[in-house]
Structure 1
């Protein structure tokens, strides 16, 4: 696929109004990681403890059907047959009728250059079922252990010219495979900052999905509104994901490179001292809080080398320390605990560089 071809493809995406560069992660600061081989990882042995719990996640590779769309009527029928995906991933519910969306989607699927994208995605995700789905099934076995009534969702995969990345509900997960190629694709998403794009890879599919799944169980009290509460609320989510994916490195869960993870661990005391000395833990100004838990390439208030969302990482550390200090507390009790300040106080968090 040469530059001329991809330029034409991008132009078509823009003209037909299908590409919007919208990503669900930016709606909330739950993020996923980068290097599979870097830092951390939990107790992989515990995965075997849940093998007796039956979980079967059905997968539908809708991109194969999409590639064969031949007419507007055929496309409308496809949208109707996949109502939830159409409404919530392709935003069909924002159109007066499916025909309008079908007339925009069909030219993309019939474009002569889309084959190159399909081939590249197919090669990169050739083991999607055996790797990603198997990983999700393992995670949902653990979830079912703690929350037996949890519904097992089905998964649909699509290729839409990087229109969207992910949709997650309790019954359906839609994955935009082309978006999750990130920098592994010839042409990564061009409307997304590079420091976010670098997290998009096949190894990040499960962590980000489970970050959103954790919202179902993560009870929070927003009345406090402090930076500390935000840090711990997100930290609870990271902790949940780490328990569901015990073999995943911490870097894949938080979204740091190996160097970034090493840096924050080696400078725990400095990071914490900065938060304390500047009296930031009980800050309620959203602009100030966002500097430490929101999306950014770096937290310049601490250092130009300090990675973004470092406050969320500290929150995760506090939650881990809380669970170590209070072994009688179950995962369910942690996720149901709304008092973030209580978690902090009972964590006895006193960071040391590591």
Structure 2
């Protein structure tokens, strides 16, 4: 496994007459794989605590139903019966009526290229019910333990060739399986940046779904409007996902490659130093905040190899430290806490790379 170090942080200009310069050197060694495997197994064992929680999530594979329709009239009925999928994944609400879309879709389904796509996606997600659905049901056992009144959603899958990824509500989850092929697809979506596309794979279905599900439970800090508040708001979401999916590595939860994950973990101190010395934690300017928590391939203000959204990752580590130091706080209490600055102050977060 390759190692990375951030040795020179470039000067960055965030406000007039405010220039930050820092030169730090740190060395690190990769953690032994045996130790990592043991930690992963310990995390997975947490799921056994919830085996008695009864959960069953119904799944409908709409792509199978769509492929069997024999006329555009049947497609009209199909669209009417699956309104959310039709509007969100096929832009049905952009058409004067469903008949126009149905005729277009019926013709498209007879195209040999679509047939190839269906075969490709079907083979990739051949074990969806055994793997992805089982994983989501295990996650919902954890959720139901903490939130007994939670409603179990229905899951629908679809293949459209339109490359829409996901719809999530408290009662319905719709997955665009063709988008979740990511770089495994013969023709990945060409209007989505590759640094985003590469996050999508069958192993990331549950983490991505649960990150959206967490919004239902995450009471965010709206009073401060600072970068720190934004970091912790997202950090709570990642903590929720990691709690409900204890077997998932952090890289799949946040959508980093193994190399990116290795970089941020082993350079955590120098990354944190850049936030402190540049005095950006209490920044309220949206453009500046977005540099650290928004979508981007890298945070060049820290280092050319520093992955995007690193502020969100730091927020996650702050939340983890807060929960470690406050063992009496439940997941539900954490998610209802709206004072992000309180979480930070009581976390005692101060990374030290060894």
Give the match for residue 274 of structure 1: 274
Give the match for residue 161 of structure 1: 161
* Alignment pair present for 1:257 and 2:257: yes
- Deviation at residue 113 of structure 1 after TM alignment: 1.9
Tell me, in whole angstroms, the C-alpha distance in 2 between the residues paired with 1:149 and 1:93.
33
CA deviation profile, 1:298-340 (whole Å, cap 9, x unmatched):
0000000100000000000000000011111111110000000
* Alignment pair present for 1:148 and 2:148: yes
Tell me, in whole angstroms, the C-alpha distance in 1 between the residues paired with 2:78 and 2:240.
36
Q: Which aligned pairs between 1:1-354 and structure 2 lie closer than 5 A?
A: 41=40, 43-353=43-353
- Deviation at residue 87 of structure 1 after TM alignment: 2.8
Tell me, in whole angstroms, the C-alpha distance in 1 between the residues paired with 2:289 and 2:95.
37
Q: C-alpha root-mean-square deviation of aligned residues, in Å?
A: 1.5
CA deviation profile, 1:166-201 (whole Å, cap 9, x unmatched):
111111111111110011111111111111110110
- Deviation at residue 155 of structure 1 after TM alignment: 0.8
Counterpart secondary structure, 1:174: strand
Counterpart secondary structure, 2:151: coil
Tell me, in whole angstroms, the C-alpha distance in 2 between the residues paired with 1:212 and 1:300.
27
Give the match for residue 12 of structure 1: none
Aligned length: 317
Give the match for residue 11 of structure 2: none
Give 4+ residue runs of structure 1 displaced > 6 Å after superposition: none
Counterpart secondary structure, 1:43: helix
Q: 1:265 to 1:163 in 2, by over 3 A?
A: closer
Higher RCO (CA < 8 A, seq sep 6+): 1
Tell me, in whole angstroms, the C-alpha distance in 2 between the residues paired with 1:55 and 1:271.
41
Could you tell which deviates more after superposition, 191-200 or 88-97? Answer: 88-97
- Deviation at residue 43 of structure 1 after TM alignment: 1.3
- Deviation at residue 92 of structure 1 after TM alignment: 2.4
Residues 226 and 281 of structure 1 are in contact (CA less than 8 Å); yes or no, is this contact kept in structure 2?
Answer: yes
- Deviation at residue 80 of structure 1 after TM alignment: 1.1
Tell me, in whole angstroms, the C-alpha distance in 2 between the residues paired with 1:64 and 1:113.
17
Tell me, in whole angstroms, the C-alpha distance in 2 between the residues paired with 1:88 and 1:120.
23
CA deviation profile, 1:23-72 (whole Å, cap 9, x unmatched):
xxxxxxxxxxxxxxx99757111111111111111111111111223322
- Deviation at residue 107 of structure 1 after TM alignment: 2.1
Counterpart secondary structure, 1:296: coil
Could you tell which deviates more after superposition, 42-51 or 324-333? Answer: 42-51
Residues 293 and 312 of structure 2 are in contact (CA less than 8 Å); yes or no, is this contact kept in structure 1?
Answer: yes
Residues 67 and 110 of structure 1 are in contact (CA less than 8 Å); yes or no, is this contact kept in structure 2?
Answer: no
Which runs of 5 or more structure 2 residues have no equivalent in the other structure?
1-35
Counterpart secondary structure, 2:90: coil
Residues 251 and 258 of structure 1 are in contact (CA less than 8 Å); yes or no, is this contact kept in structure 2?
Answer: yes
Residues 235 and 318 of structure 1 are in contact (CA less than 8 Å); yes or no, is this contact kept in structure 2?
Answer: yes
Per the normalisation by structure 1, the TM-score is: 0.87
Residues 242 and 250 of structure 1 are in contact (CA less than 8 Å); yes or no, is this contact kept in structure 2?
Answer: yes
Residues 218 and 335 of structure 2 are in contact (CA less than 8 Å); yes or no, is this contact kept in structure 1?
Answer: yes
Tell me, in whole angstroms, the C-alpha distance in 1 between the residues paired with 2:103 and 2:277.
58
CA deviation profile, 1:60-108 (whole Å, cap 9, x unmatched):
1111111223322111011112223223333323433211221332222
Residues 69 and 109 of structure 1 are in contact (CA less than 8 Å); yes or no, is this contact kept in structure 2?
Answer: no
Tell me, in whole angstroms, the C-alpha distance in 2 between the residues paired with 1:184 and 1:45.
30
Tell me, in whole angstroms, the C-alpha distance in 2 between the residues paired with 1:90 and 1:219.
32
Which runs of 5 or more structure 1 residues have no equivalent in the other structure?
1-37
